[in-house]
Amino acid sequence: MSEDEDDADDDDGGDDAAGDDLQEQVFTHAPVLRDEVLDLLAPGPDAVFYDLTLGLGGHVRAVLERAGPTARAFGLDADPLAVERSTAALADLGPRVTLVHASLREVGRVARERGWPAPTAVLMDLGLSSPQIEEAARGFSFRREGPLDMRFDPTRGPSAAELLLALPSAELAERIEVLGDEPLAGEIVRLIKRRLPVETTTQLAAIVLEAYGRRPSRVHPARRTFQALRMLVNDELAAVEEGLWDAVELLAAGGRVAAISFHSGEDRVVKEVLRNAARRDLVRILTRRPVRPTEAECQHNARARSAKLRGAERAGA
């Protein structure tokens, strides 16, 4: 199948719409696309698995259970609380698991500095995890009162509230429009700048609602603005691109890399990195079209509805 046919099948806007209010739902803690990830990565008995977005450690456990007792896993997460929780959740696996607080874009540096073996399987499961949404203090939810933070790593960089203060109106409106597909970005930013400082999630949500007025909407209007600010605060698209390139270069010959995206922008980055790597004969693409969850999984886990899985295999003997 040609790449153009892949593009025609790919609905870059539909995933966000289908995933309406995913930020506001209480998800199950089952790893998304678990069986599909295992089939794609095909971890063998001597697997060396890198999970670049640990979350709650569900994919790590699934891969090691499939691979067997001699496989090892190395995990990263930009969120220190995710590393803490995964450490507790995976404690029974002992020295087979090594976890580090670091962004996925740092995987190359971390692996080199710590002398990790070349991976035979790598996964990045992008977007938010359940605890990040459920904890109002993290600032990700537009329905829960909390500080307007939105940082995956609360120890690094400016918060969302600080970015609203610092960024010029034109730049902020452009980023909200592009990252959130928000048609009223200009009006929302005008109201934000009039009300500064905007320091809580509910303040920002109220501003977005005011911008929309009585316009009908089947989704909560604040969803797009919150999504855009979260992606901006964490520089998510650049992190995905850098981390995925590093993963491709780190892979052992015949090793496989997979990425689960929940946003059309993330999926475009994943697709382009893998295509460019394939043009350089670094990988063979395994998913000409993204793998989507089954209806049964979507009913069980609302977060899965907008998931897209893509993967590739490292070239070499």
242 pLDDT more than 80 = yes
Instruction: Indicate the residue among 233, 267, 292 that finishes a domain.
Output: 233
Give the confidence band of 205 by pLDDT, cuts at 50, 70, 90. very high
198 or 18, greater pLDDT: 198
The pLDDT of residue 26: 34
On whether both 117 and 253 belong to a single domain, the answer is yes
Q: By mean pLDDT, which of 6-15, 110-119, 123-132 is the weakest? A: 6-15
Report long-range pairs for 149-158 (Cβ below 8 Å, ≥24 apart): 150/226, 150/229, 150/230, 150/233, 150/234, 151/233, 151/234, 152/77, 152/78, 152/79, 152/103, 152/234, 153/78, 153/79, 153/80, 153/101, 153/103, 154/80, 155/80, 157/233, 157/234, 158/233
On whether both 38 and 90 belong to a single domain, the answer is yes
225 pLDDT more than 80 = yes
On whether both 265 and 276 belong to a single domain, the answer is yes
What CATH number should be reported for the domain holding residue 214? Answer: 1.10.150.170
Domain that holds residue 179: 154-233
What CATH number should be reported for the domain holding residue 35? Answer: 3.40.50.150
Whether 258 maps to a domain, the answer reads: yes
Q: Which residue intervals of the chain are DSSP H helices?
A: 3-9, 14-18, 34-41, 58-67, 80-89, 107-114, 130-134, 160-166, 169-180, 185-195, 201-212, 222-233, 236-250, 264-279, 295-300
The answer to whether the CB of 51 falls within 8 A of the CB of 41 is no
On whether both 214 and 248 belong to a single domain, the answer is no
Name 263's Cβ contacts closer than 8 Å, sequence gap at least 6.
Answer: 15, 16, 126, 127, 227, 231, 306
On whether both 124 and 245 belong to a single domain, the answer is yes
Whether 108 maps to a domain, the answer reads: yes
On whether both 170 and 265 belong to a single domain, the answer is no
Whether 142 maps to a domain, the answer reads: no
Whether 148 maps to a domain, the answer reads: no
On whether both 195 and 207 belong to a single domain, the answer is yes
pTM, full prediction: 0.88
Whether 279 maps to a domain, the answer reads: yes
On whether both 225 and 242 belong to a single domain, the answer is no
Whether 170 maps to a domain, the answer reads: yes
The pLDDT of residue 174: 98
Instruction: Indicate the residue among 233, 255, 271 that finishes a domain.
Output: 233
Whether 144 maps to a domain, the answer reads: no
On whether both 99 and 215 belong to a single domain, the answer is no
Each residue of 11-45: pLDDT tens digit?
333 333 333 333 333 334 578 999 999 999 999 99
Beta bridge partners of 97: 73
The pLDDT of residue 134: 79
**For residues 151, 153, 158 and 160, what is the CA-based torsion angle, rounded to 10 degrees?**
10
On whether both 185 and 111 belong to a single domain, the answer is no
Q: Considering Cα of 52, then 56, then 59, then 60, what sign does the dihedral take?
A: positive
Beta bridge partners of 312: 257, 285
Cα-flanking dihedrals φ and ψ of residue 239, to 5°?
Answer: -65, -40
Whether 143 maps to a domain, the answer reads: no
The pLDDT of residue 217: 67
Instruction: Indicate the residue among 233, 260, 278 that finishes a domain.
Output: 233
Name 243's Cβ contacts closer than 8 Å, sequence gap at least 6.
Answer: 52, 103, 104, 105, 106, 107, 124
On whether both 175 and 268 belong to a single domain, the answer is no
Whole-Å CA distances, 152 to 136, 140, 223, 315: 13, 10, 18, 33
Each residue of 94-109: pLDDT tens digit?
999 999 999 999 999 9
| Number of independent structural domains in the chain | 2
On whether both 163 and 100 belong to a single domain, the answer is no
